[in-house]
Structure 1
Amino acid sequence: MAPEKPIRIGCYSAFWGDSVSAAEQLVSLEGKNLDYLVADYLAEVTMGLLARHRKSGGGSKKPSRAGPGGYVGDFITFVWKRLVEDIVANGTKVITNAGGLDPLALKEAIETIAEDAGIKGLVVAAVTGDDLHERADDMDTKGELIPFNYITGNKAEVDQYPGNDESKKKLSLNAYLGAVPIAEALAAGASIVVTGRVVDSALVLGPLLHEFKWNPLKDWDQMAAASLAGHIIECGCHTTGGNFTDWELSANSPNGGWANMGFPIVECQRNGDFIVTKPAETGGLVTVATVAEQLVYEVLDPGSYILPDVILDLRNVKLTQVGKDRVLVTGAKGRAPTPYLKCSGIYVDGFKITADLWIGGVDARRKALAVGDAVIKRARRNLEQFGIEDYTAVRVEALGAESSYGPHSTALDAREVCCRITAVHPEKHALLLLGVELAPSATGNAPGITGGGAGRPHPSPNMTHYSVLAPKTVVPAILTVGKGEKRTIPFVGPSDAKNEFPPALPAVGANDTAVDATDLVTVPLIRLAYARSGDKGDTANVGVIARDPKYYGIILEQLTAKSVKEYMGHLAQGEVARYELPGISAVNFVLTRSLGGGGLSSLNLDRQGKSYGQMLLSFKVKVPKGLLSNL
């Protein structure tokens, strides 16, 4: 009996703004061999931007790439209008969260374009129900919005919930729906499924639930593996050599390197195992290392990666190179999900301004900090004269002098830096009083000031992200297929909702590699490991993967939660926890209160912790000299 044909799923978008040629790459190079084309457009900042567009009624004077109802218009412009005939001819089904805040409007736009192209009988489905904005106050009054601090451990994040504070203008609140409604849409005959806010991995789990007819009430291991497949490819080129520690291998790879980066494809089997690959005629690379980096990306407790449909255990996942640009992924385990959905909200808390001044010459860093200090003092004097309250927050950085490295900077003598001044205030005019004090620095402050970024800065709304939980029983998904009526898709799974989470599984011990205390040499961690980092609210994670299992014991011994806290303490204001992933010889560090409040509202240069992994790779470790020949 011939082996069952795997289901091939390609992802062309990691975020709203990814390459406009990515979908065409997969459609043209893979053709009929691609069963599904998926695209992730949404992030915390994206929902905020779409919400602002919706609030303005779509009437902003500035050009917008959002659809009139708050969907991602780029899907129509760069994908559907250009590729609709090829996609339909290939028989490839499309699943995307480009619906944003209005999946039904996107569904209608897709149908209209298909009809105009002479395509008949195309069934388009929309998944809604995630948008809780209009329901939020009522849900809060009923006690249905539960503080969210289990994963992050950040009380500060819970405190950001705006509640009934009228000074905080709520823009959006969306629940992370799961994969079952997508599977139901496909079972009902849909070829195109558009959603709002679903968990990223659901874009892959949904079609696999449909294809393999897994039972969403018990096939936890298969669902966990499919969710991992979704996690691996939902960030696009992250798993094909983008953002890779050994970046030159990717930049200089055959078929054009970075200029022609290949987007990822997973080939999935009924038992949950899958292979990660990419189109052969493209740049980048798929190796155990590139896949491992993406595996640890934005993961907190790897034993309890909590998703709407399943809790994924990553600790004993195995990665095997089975061919050029082909990595087999096995060993994912799953267990029943929690009875809650994570909900992501955005509110506006005053205004923010960012001002830049380029400064060159000797002592550029010290000059930049002195200039920033003077600008802030002059601005505060202006506030005092007009009887306006002080700024909510201010930050001055000397970019180019490794400002984010704190005490580990090796560029204190940089001769070209950018003085960046960021401030927050409830009123826009208070920030204008700071903006006008920037230009006078060129004549009244330090020598070597060459200009100010893009001219006089202007305030923008200070969008702030918060997270809460809601019982699944009060947030059903709503499915609209073709011309049919809307129908409710209740969540399957546990119904005994309790205000608690199951405890994380105990850590799995790793095999320590003995380190000979004699004849040691000190090298940067990058000689032994790869790293990838990301954000969850005000928490950052840094995953560190041994280049060879023989180095894992050294990493475990010397990279402890305490040593990483000491090294990253200038950024990590909260606790640091360490988790082990012995299946890929990795450790994951979770740094709470480390992003200045989170990606949208942070005043930090690196608001999402994307550089933290590369920063930790400068950590010094002691290694037996005998191992150096292998490094």
Structure 2
Amino acid sequence: MAPEKTVRIGCYSAFWGDSVSAAEQLVTLEGKNLDYLVADYLAEVTMGLLARHRKSGEGSKKPSRAGPGGYVGDFITFVWKRLIEDIVANGTKVITNAGGLDPLALKEAIETIAQENGIEGLVVAAVTGDDLHHRAEEMNAKGELLPFNYITGNKDEVDRYPGAEKKNLSLNAYLGAVPIAQALDAGATIVVTGRVVDSALVLGPLLHEYKWNPNKDWDQMAGASLAGHIIECGCHTTGGNFTDWELSANSPHGGWANMGFPVVECQANGDFTVTKPAETGGLVTVATVGEQLVYEVLDPGAYILPDVILDLRNVKLTQVGKDRVLVTGAKGRAPTPYLKCSGIYVEGYKITADLWIGGVDARRKALAVGEAVVKRGRKNLEKFGIEDFTAVRVEALGSESSYGPHSTALDAREVCCRITAVHPEKHGLLLLGVELAPSATGNAPGITGGGAGRPHPSPNMTHYSILAPKVAVPAKLTIGSGDTQIEKIVPFTGPSSAQNEFPPELPAAPLPPANASSEETVLIPLIRIAYARSGDKGDTANVGVIARDPKFYPYINQQLTAESVKEYMSHLAQGKVARYELPGIHALNFVLTRSLGGGGLSSLNLDRQGKSYGQMLLSFKVKVPKGLLSNL
């Protein structure tokens, strides 16, 4: 009997700007054992940057890290030009969304470099159709652009299409994995895409390899999608951004200086093992994989993807060897009839100004300086008859300003006075920026510098999410070149039922044992008994909390409620808080709407993407029986 086929997939990029040595690490250390090399370059912020580049670069001859039409040029510079011979020799296929806003241009650049290196027989495919920018008004008129909400059933807080009156830069649908699979079926060895859902970069090749039926093999596709979710953020699952950071920083083989990038070994039933190259830093444990599992998830019972609805609640993580974690138990259901779409528009301009201030009362001095600078800026606006700032925020960084009432650093003796403002016009912000330097001689003692100098305004880009019917957004697949190039439309097919987004009910949550009420308890910070990871979806943040040991889960479950988290994070969470359970990994997930000041692109907050919210919540105090802490 032939051994079961295993497909090995490595991810070298979590975002545009990840380590330039990561692809080389996987290509060199994994060699011919790596079937696929995948890379995720796109995020909500990235799409905005590419869109701005596309608009500002029209007709420009200036060099840029982005390709001329809006693709990620770093793929060409740091991966393809440097590693093309090794990738081809290893027989590794490449799947990446580095196509950004122009996958066809990236496809052509890849083919040109292959020709220059004398490499023949390379088949490159591009997946397009996600770019709805020029169709947006037509689709809106037809009623095809629908509101999107982050908590199912929450009708009070939704994103909507902003309309033609806004300066729209981009609108892209999150396409699925089927076009990638079809490209591989047709013989492609390199597949570049625009905005596909991150996990599609892994689901696509596994659909191709295992010939799953995309209209019924929901559990297998759910497992493959989870594999994509686990590795799409690169080192997030190999010890990066890990609560117990010292274990990762001081790990063998160089620690953080030589972080290993993730590899998944996938099976035909959808199960997979997470690992990393030998003799690289970092670590792969149940805890590191668990933290990535809850990252940027809304309802874990209904993780809605284009091809499948993934249920994460009963997933199991098992340590099966050093730096090897087996992931099982993902369940899938038929997808909804809609695609999530990500849009960016420009609303005025934004400026950020910094002044470093030291000494006694540094925080109070910083806030007073910031207030004075803003007042002087407003006087300048009045003199010239210019309207007021749209928004202003003054913070004293270094005094735990993000912690609000939970700060323990109000007496810090070195802080940064940060002033962030938005105005409809550039010159309105310039009249604020010129008032920064005079503070050094006319305001508080201890001002030591002005950050990067006089600040310059930049477009204030704002993100929004909406839904579009799948039937209105078919993908287009372009394969090969010259006389052999073929083009085909890949519509979404198969069952689509909106009610499938509602997950089945879970059994009642576990409660602490009855005898625990008579035991002596201690009040401790959550970090002693839990891990946490947080992320963003527009103006919504999520915080996943995982028990370090199953024995702590009932106590976390009982005390960490939606209400207690809302109260603790009330200085940040301006909207609703929903709580979800993941009993398979003894975890809770909290979704906080209106908690990021507008989202990663437009927010005036220091933490625009909620990356510190998990660490912040780990200071929450919980009561546990003293006896349970004996081994901690």
Shorter-chain TM-score: which interval?
over 0.9
2:187 to 182, 186, 189: 189
Q: 2:89 corresponds to which residue?
A: 89
Structure 1 Cα separation of the partners of residues 538 and 263 of structure 2: 29
| Kept in 2: contact 1:157–1:466 (CA 8 A) | no
Q: 1:51 corresponds to which residue?
A: 51
Structure 1 Cα separation of the partners of residues 628 and 520 of structure 2: 11
Shift of 1:507: 3.8
The one-letter amino acid paired with 1:139 is: M
Shift of 1:69: 1.2
Write the mapping of 1:121-270 to structure 2, written as runs, cut at 5 A. Answer: 121-149=121-149, 151=151, 153=154, 155=156, 157-159=158-160, 161-165=161-165, 168-270=166-268
| Kept in 2: contact 1:508–1:580 (CA 8 A) | no
Q: Secondary structure at the match of 1:355?
A: strand
The one-letter amino acid paired with 2:131 is: D
- Bigger mean CA deviation after superposition, 515-524 or 210-219: 515-524
| Cα offsets for 1:585-619 (capped at 9, x unmatched) | 00001111100011110000000000000000001
Write the mapping of 1:133-532 to structure 2, written as runs, cut at 5 A. Answer: 133-149=133-149, 151=151, 153=154, 155=156, 157-159=158-160, 161-165=161-165, 168-483=166-481, 484-494=485-495, 502-514=501-513, 515-532=516-533
Shift of 1:508: 3.9
TM-score, normalised by the number of residues in structure 1: 0.97
Instruction: Verify: 1:544 aligned to 2:538, yes or no.
Output: no
| Kept in 1: contact 2:544–2:590 (CA 8 A) | yes
Q: 2:109 corresponds to which residue?
A: 109
Structure 1 Cα separation of the partners of residues 494 and 540 of structure 2: 29
The one-letter amino acid paired with 1:419 is: C
Write the mapping of 1:608-627 to structure 2, written as runs, cut at 5 A. Answer: 608-627=609-628
Structure 2 Cα separation of the partners of residues 270 and 5 of structure 1: 7
Shift of 1:63: 4.6
Q: Secondary structure at the match of 1:174?
A: strand
Structure 1 Cα separation of the partners of residues 408 and 155 of structure 2: 31
Structure 2 Cα separation of the partners of residues 157 and 202 of structure 1: 26
Q: Secondary structure at the match of 2:81?
A: helix
Shift of 1:60: 5.3
Could you say if the C-alpha distance between residues 513 and 266 of structure 1 is closer, same or farther in structure 2, counting changes exceeding 3 Å?
same
Structure 2 Cα separation of the partners of residues 322 and 349 of structure 1: 51
| Kept in 1: contact 2:311–2:503 (CA 8 A) | no
| Kept in 1: contact 2:356–2:416 (CA 8 A) | yes
Could you say if the C-alpha distance between residues 154 and 619 of structure 1 is closer, same or farther in structure 2, counting changes exceeding 3 Å?
farther
Structure 2 Cα separation of the partners of residues 329 and 300 of structure 1: 20
| Kept in 1: contact 2:519–2:626 (CA 8 A) | no
Shift of 1:440: 1.0
Structure 2 Cα separation of the partners of residues 595 and 542 of structure 1: 13
Q: 2:68 corresponds to which residue?
A: 68
Q: Secondary structure at the match of 2:239?
A: coil
| Kept in 1: contact 2:335–2:501 (CA 8 A) | no
The one-letter amino acid paired with 2:569 is: M
Shift of 1:345: 0.5
The one-letter amino acid paired with 2:309 is: I
| Cα offsets for 1:409-450 (capped at 9, x unmatched) | 000000000000000010110000000111111111111111
Shift of 1:154: 7.6
Shift of 1:58: 4.9
Q: Secondary structure at the match of 1:237?
A: helix
Could you say if the C-alpha distance between residues 60 and 554 of structure 1 is closer, same or farther in structure 2, counting changes exceeding 3 Å?
farther
Structure 2 Cα separation of the partners of residues 575 and 436 of structure 1: 39
| Kept in 2: contact 1:302–1:313 (CA 8 A) | yes
| Kept in 1: contact 2:150–2:593 (CA 8 A) | no
Structure 2 Cα separation of the partners of residues 468 and 358 of structure 1: 41
Shift of 1:532: 0.1
Q: Secondary structure at the match of 1:131?
A: coil
| Kept in 2: contact 1:541–1:588 (CA 8 A) | yes
The one-letter amino acid paired with 1:610 is: K
Could you say if the C-alpha distance between residues 465 and 327 of structure 1 is closer, same or farther in structure 2, counting changes exceeding 3 Å?
same
Q: Secondary structure at the match of 2:30?
A: helix
Structure 2 Cα separation of the partners of residues 46 and 155 of structure 1: 28
The one-letter amino acid paired with 1:23 is: A
Shift of 1:148: 1.1
Q: 1:606 corresponds to which residue?
A: 607
Q: 1:8 corresponds to which residue?
A: 8
Structure 2 Cα separation of the partners of residues 350 and 486 of structure 1: 40
| Cα offsets for 1:40-83 (capped at 9, x unmatched) | 00001111111111112355586520011110000000000000
Could you say if the C-alpha distance between residues 62 and 358 of structure 1 is closer, same or farther in structure 2, counting changes exceeding 3 Å?
farther
Q: 2:595 corresponds to which residue?
A: 594
Could you say if the C-alpha distance between residues 150 and 451 of structure 1 is closer, same or farther in structure 2, counting changes exceeding 3 Å?
closer
Structure 2 Cα separation of the partners of residues 129 and 565 of structure 1: 40
Structure 2 Cα separation of the partners of residues 60 and 398 of structure 1: 39
Structure 1 Cα separation of the partners of residues 205 and 270 of structure 2: 13
After the TM superposition, which parts of structure 1 deviate over 6 Å for at least 4 consecutive aligned residues? none
Could you say if the C-alpha distance between residues 470 and 501 of structure 1 is closer, same or farther in structure 2, counting changes exceeding 3 Å?
farther
Structure 1 Cα separation of the partners of residues 3 and 527 of structure 2: 41
| Kept in 2: contact 1:53–1:60 (CA 8 A) | no
| Kept in 2: contact 1:401–1:417 (CA 8 A) | yes
Structure 2 Cα separation of the partners of residues 51 and 155 of structure 1: 30
| Cα offsets for 1:468-520 (capped at 9, x unmatched) | 11000010000001022321001123357x6x774343344333232334411
| Cα offsets for 1:18-55 (capped at 9, x unmatched) | 00000000000000000000000000111111111111
| Kept in 2: contact 1:154–1:592 (CA 8 A) | no
| Kept in 2: contact 1:181–1:477 (CA 8 A) | yes
Structure 2 Cα separation of the partners of residues 509 and 259 of structure 1: 45
Structure 1 Cα separation of the partners of residues 186 and 151 of structure 2: 36
Structure 1 Cα separation of the partners of residues 400 and 63 of structure 2: 35
Structure 1 Cα separation of the partners of residues 470 and 597 of structure 2: 31
- Bigger mean CA deviation after superposition, 37-46 or 510-519: 510-519
Q: 1:559 corresponds to which residue?
A: 560
| Kept in 1: contact 2:175–2:197 (CA 8 A) | yes
| Kept in 2: contact 1:304–1:505 (CA 8 A) | no
| Cα offsets for 1:376-413 (capped at 9, x unmatched) | 11111111111111111100000000000000000000
| Cα offsets for 1:104-135 (capped at 9, x unmatched) | 01001101111111111110000000001111
Structure 1 Cα separation of the partners of residues 281 and 83 of structure 2: 22
Structure 2 Cα separation of the partners of residues 389 and 493 of structure 1: 54
| Kept in 2: contact 1:337–1:493 (CA 8 A) | no
